[in-house]
Structure formats: structure tokens, C-alpha cells
């Protein structure tokens, strides 16, 4: 049986850095995040969802250009 570890401020900071890097990469490609994308990222940063759920495709694709 796996044990759950405590989500720490260090975890939150690392997730925030990863999301910021990804957002910069997306912007360099000419895309813009929707408000829903930003809220989804915040859920990941705050530990509400795991990476597997964060990167799972959601709904219709909107290229946001």
C-alpha cells in the first residue's frame, strides 16, 4: 500500500516554476492560455491535481493564436 506524502511549500514552488517555464514556452510558440487553462494550472500548482491529470487533454482544442 502506497503512503501519501505531505504537499509542501517547496512542492508548490517547484510546480509554480515548472508551470511558468511551460507558459513561457507556449508564448514563444505564439499561443495564449485561456482563463480555464490558467485555473487548471493553479489547481496543479496548489496540489489539487497531479501531473497526470494536469497534462491530460481537456475538451476541444483552441489554438488561441
The Cα–Cα gap between 47 and 65 comes to 29
Instruction: Check residues 3 and 15 and name the one with the higher pLDDT.
Output: 15
* pTM for the model: 0.79
Q: Torsion-angle region of residue 59: left (phi > 0), alpha (psi -120 to 50) or beta? A: left
Nine-digit cell string for 45: 500548482
Nine-digit cell string for 61: 482544442
pLDDT band (50, 70, 90) for residue 3: low
The 10s digit of each residue's pLDDT in 17-47 is 999 999 999 999 999 999 999 999 999 999 9
Amino acid at each position: 500500500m502506497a503512503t501519501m506524502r505531505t504537499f509542501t511549500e517547496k512542492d508548490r514552488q517547484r510546480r509554480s516554476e515548472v508551470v511558468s517555464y511551460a507558459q513561457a514556452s507556449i508564448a514563444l510558440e505564439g499561443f495564449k492560455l485561456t482563463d480555464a487553462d490558467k485555473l487548471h494550472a493553479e489547481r496543479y500548482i496548489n496540489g489539487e491535481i497531479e501531473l497526470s491529470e494536469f497534462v491530460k487533454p481537456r475538451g476541444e482544442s483552441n489554438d488561441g493564436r
